[in-house]
Chain A
Amino acid sequence: MSFGAFRALNDVSLDVGHGEIRAIIGPNGAGKTTFVNIVSGIFKPTSGRVTLEGRDITTLSPQRRARLGLARTFQITSLFKGMTVSEHLQLAVRDADADGETRRELLEQMGLATFADREVDTLSHGDQRILEMAMAMVLKPKFLLLDEPTAGMSIAETDRMIRLIIERLRGRIGVIIIEHDMNVVTQTSDKVTVLAAGAVAASGLPQDVLRDPHVKEIYLGSAANH
C-alpha cells in the first residue's frame, strides 16, 4: 500500500482462521491502522488481495464487505451524537424489528442495559467503547477488526473489555485486534503479528513473539521512547 512515494505497507500477508484472535502490534506509524483500513475497504490497496472465507473482496466497498460479515471498530470512538444506545444498536442491525430480542440480550450481556435510552454523549468513555463493540457484534460478523479497543480506558474498563473479547469472541469468529496494551494482547490473542515500518517483523504465539529480542528492540524499545 503506497501513498504517493511513501510505502505504508510492504508485502504484508496475514491469514487469520475462523475462531482465531490475531493481535497486530507495532510502534506508532508501523502501518497497523492502514492495514485495518485496507481490510475493511476504506483504503484500496495498490497491490495485493483481501479475501473473506475464500472470497476475493478486494474491490468491494466497505458497505458490501460489512454485509458479507466483516465488521470493525475504530481507534477513535465513532458514535452518533444525539442518538441513544438503543438507537445505535438499531442502526447496526439491519433487520431491526426481527432482532429486538437479540439487541436486548446483547445490551444486558455487555452491561449496557441500564443505559439503553440514554444518549451516547452522556456515557463514560469506557461504556462508549463497549457500545462500539456491541454495534460490531450485533451485526453477527464472520470477521471482526478491533482497532485499539481499550484505547483511553481505565484498568477496570480494560479488564471488562478483555472479558468481553474472551467470552464473546474467542473461538467463535476470526478477529484481528490492534493493541498497544501487552496485557490485553497476551490475555486475548492466539497469535501475534508485529509490524514495523510497514512490514511483518515477527509472527507467532504471544509468549514467543513478546520474548523475541528483535521484537523487544523494534517495539518495546520504540514504545519506551514515547
Chain B
Amino acid sequence: MRDRVGIVTALGVLTVLCAIAPLVGEFWSGVLARCVSWMFLAISFSLAYSYANIPSVAQATVFGAGAYAAVWATSLVGGNMILIMTAGAAAGALIALVFGALLLKMSHSGAAIGTIISAVTFSMLGNAAVAYTGGTDGLPMPAQAFHLLGMPFAVGPNIGMLLLGSAVLAALLVAFWLFSGTRTWRVVRAVQQNAMRAQVLGYNAAGYRLAVFAVSGCVAGLGGALYALISRHVAIEVVSLSMSLKSILWAAVGGVTSIYGGPIGVLAVQLASELLLRWTVRVDLIIGLMLIAVALWMPRGVMGLRRPRSSQQSQ
C-alpha cells in the first residue's frame, strides 16, 4: 500500500526548503543542508525500528561510519562525489549487516541494549583511534576539486549542498514509495507484524529483517557522507550515543512508523532548537518538554495525526 499523503508531504517539505534557500542566505542554507543530511539518519531509524523490528540505538554509529568513509574515500579517489557518497552508503550497509547479524540473535530488548553497548564501544574506539578518526578534534575533509557528474561542485554548508542533499533524499523517498507497492514490501510488512506467521508461509523472516536493516544502514551511511561533504569535517561526536538518541527523537516527532515522518521531525526539532537558541540557553529543557508533550498527545508523531487510529499501524 503506497502512502500518497506521506510522499507528497515529504516532497513538499523538501521543495519548500529548496525554494526558500535563496531567500534565507548562506547561514540558514547551511543549517538546512545539515538538517537534510540528518533526515537520512531519522529515516534510517524508522526503517530499523518499524520495519526490521530492531530498536537500534546505534544508528548514529552507522551514520558516522558513512561520514568517515566519505572522508577516507576522498583521500583515495579524489573529489568524485558519486564515489564518495557510494563509499558512505556502502560503509553504512556493511556496518549494519554486521550489527544486524549479531542483533538478530538477541531478543528485542536484548537488541536494544546491544545497540547501546555498540554505540558506546564504537565511540570509545573512535576516540582511541585518533590516527584514523582525529578523535575529538575530528578529521577535515581533504581539499579536493569536487565534482558531480563532471561538473565542478562546491562542498560545504551552502545552497548547492542543500539542493544536492534534497535531490538525493527526494529520489530515495520516491524509490521507497514505488517499492512500497510491491509484493516484496508486503512480505517485509508481514514479517514486521508477525515473523512466525510469515515463516510458516515460507518466508525467511530473519533474512528479510537483516536486509531491511542493511538498507537502513545504507541510508544512514549515505546521510553521513552528505554530512561530511556539508560540514567538511567529521568529529567523533557524530557517532556518539547522544546523536543516536537525537535520531530517535526526530523519528518520534515525525512519526516513527512512517518513513516520511523523519524529514518533518528533523525540521521541527532542529529549527525549534536554532530559533530557541536566540532567546535562551535552556534549549534542551524546552525541547525535552516538547518531546514529552509529543509522547503524551501525539504518540505516533506528526504523520500519525492524519489517519484513524485503527489504520495507523498499517504503513
Contacts and interface: CB of A to CB of B under 8 A. Distances in A.
B79 to A, nearest CB: 46
B201 interface: yes
B190 A91 contact: yes
A135 interface: yes
B196 A81 contact: no
B204 interface: yes
Interface stretch (A59-67, A172-180, A185-193, A216-224): A59-67
Q: Name B's interface SS.
A: helix
A205 interface: no
Contacts, number: 68
Contacts of B314: 81-83, 119
Nearest to A67: B202
Interface residues on A, range: 20 to 34
Given A80-B189, A83-B186, A121 B310 contact: yes
Contact of A66 (B1, B183, B200): B200
Interface in B204-257: 204-205
A14 interface: no
User: Which of B197, B198, B205 has the most chain A CB within a 10 Å cutoff?
Assistant: B197
Contacts of A87: 186
Contact of A139 (B1, B194, B201): B201
20 contacts: A42-B196, A42-B200, A62-B199, A63-B199, A66-B200, A66-B202, A71-B200, A74-B197, A80-B189, A80-B193, A80-B197, A81-B314, A82-B189, A82-B315, A83-B1, A91-B190, A91-B201, A92-B201, A96-B183, A121-B310
Given A72-B200, A83-B314, A94-B202, 9 more contacts: A62-B196, A80-B193, A82-B315, A83-B189, A119-B311, A119-B314, A121-B311, A135-B201, A139-B202
Interface of A: 40-42, 61-63, 65-67, 71-72, 74, 78, 80-83, 87, 90-92, 94, 96, 119, 121, 135, 139
Which 9 pairs, one residue from A and one from B, show the smallest C-beta to C-beta distance?
Answer: A82-B314, A66-B202, A62-B199, A78-B197, A67-B202, A63-B199, A80-B190, A80-B193, A62-B200
